[in-house]
Amino acid sequence: METRASIKQLSVHYTGNKGLGQDFIKAQHPLVLNERDNAIITDALLAKFSTDMERFSFVNPVSLDYNIIYNLCLAIFAEEADFHKTTIDIATHLYESATHPKIKPGELYAAHLQHCEIDGKLTEAIGIYKTESKSNFLDIQHEAHEFSMTLREGAELTKIDKGCLIFPTNGEKGFDIFLFDHNRGEEAVFWKETFLSVAPQANEYYQTNQFLTVARQFIAKEIPESFEMEKTGQIDLLNKSVEYFRNNDSFDKTDFVETVLQDDKLIRAFKQYEHSYAEANDVELPDSFGISTQALKKQARVFKSVLKLDKNFHIYIHGDKDLIEKGYDAVTGKNYYKIYFDEEA
């Protein structure tokens, strides 16, 4: 995220796993940064975020009044609370929530930033980060022709494990939030749901991302189980799905299934699969929405248009599947593909 941002205040606390009886160490004072360190650390804290990321908001099943981090951020944005003292409350909530045995100890960084950009406007933001992975560093010093070495352990600025950036915009609906977490499984659920308690915003990005996920899973998993279709046919449907989103500014479900799936049996199976997916994942999949080019770009990377043949060949299929012919050679006892083309690039 390229901005003119800088850190107004930065506090660091250590939070272990409460369930394992590990330490919780609260800093008495915020860190004091010189201009150079401020610039370097600001760049590191913002490096993992971009304005085309999926947006989240704080949530609570009853009311936002019961979301702890939301209310602490609300007090900071309203200038009703001392920032450093509030970061202690944030760290306390993290520690009290860390009861699962897989939650790792580490430093919690809380930054009050200024001049951060969202939707083309500069505003303040609150960044909350946690470093859990440590690396060894060699600190080499020299005086005249004499060198000395000190081995230090620390967190690399480019390898912060998890973080979120909270903007004061959209406050009544839980703020606009970007987040990342390099962990998976219970640790990722802990950061997003237990500690922060956030959920994706139901905007164009979310809807585009959800529907393409449904389409990809249906074609890659459901079709092979329920229909007799060659792998080239599946890849063709994956390519057509992506192309539909690339060629349209808005999505219409009826038009999509008729354009991409075409076959009545496939269409009925897809609608059943979509309904089951929505129920299982507790999501709403509207019949129409604006298409997010950012979400499409992200999803297109996982729409695999590759035909893998044993461990010898990969065929990338981007066009007409009818130019690929499958057969069986009785002499060698092997399957084969015949590919038709006009000229070699």
Instruction: Using pLDDT thresholds of 50, 70 and 90, give the confidence band for residue 169.
Output: very high
The more confident residue out of 4 and 275 is 275
276 Cβ contact list (under 8 Å, min separation 6): none
Scan for tokens 């990377």, then name that residue: 301
Is the pLDDT reported for residue 2 higher than 70?
Answer: no
Beta bridge partners of 142: 147
For residue range 73-132, list pLDDT tens digits in order.
Answer: 999 999 989 999 999 999 999 999 999 999 999 999 999 999 999 988 999 999 999 999
**Residue 32 to residue 30: CA distance in whole angstroms:** 7
In the structure encoding, which two tokens stand for residue 54, read together?
Answer: 């999926």
Signed CA dihedral, 278, 281, 282, 286: sign only: negative
Judged by average pLDDT, the poorest of 137-151, 152-166, 240-254, 318-332 is 318-332
The closest of 119, 110, 6 to 53, measured between CA atoms, is 119
Is the pLDDT reported for residue 1 higher than 70?
Answer: no
Contact (CB, 8 A) for 90 and 128: yes
For residue range 10-63, list pLDDT tens digits in order.
Answer: 999 999 999 999 999 999 999 999 999 999 999 999 999 987 788 999 999 999
Instruction: Using pLDDT thresholds of 50, 70 and 90, give the confidence band for residue 198.
Output: very high
Is the pLDDT reported for residue 3 higher than 60?
Answer: no
Q: Please report, for residues 10, 12, 89, 106, 137, the alpha-carbon distance to residue 30 in angstroms, rounded to integers and kept in the order given.
A: 6, 7, 14, 17, 25
- Statement: the pTM of the whole predicted model exceeds 0.85: no
The closest of 4, 7, 5 to 32, measured between CA atoms, is 7
Is the pLDDT reported for residue 345 higher than 80?
Answer: no
What does the pLDDT read at residue 75? 96
The more confident residue out of 319 and 111 is 111
Q: Residue 33 in 3-state DSSP?
A: coil
Beta-carbon neighbour count of residue 58 at 10 Å? Answer: 22
Instruction: Using pLDDT thresholds of 50, 70 and 90, give the confidence band for residue 71.
Output: very high
What does the pLDDT read at residue 57? 97
For residue range 182-194, list pLDDT tens digits in order.
Answer: 887 777 889 999 9
Name the phi and psi angles at 331, rounded to 5.
-70, -50
**Residue 295 to residue 251: CA distance in whole angstroms:** 13
Q: Give, as one character, the DSSP assignment of residue 319.
A: S
Mean pLDDT of the chain: 90
Name the phi and psi angles at 116, rounded to 5.
-90, 150
Scan for tokens 């970061």, then name that residue: 87
Average pLDDT over residues 223-245: 90
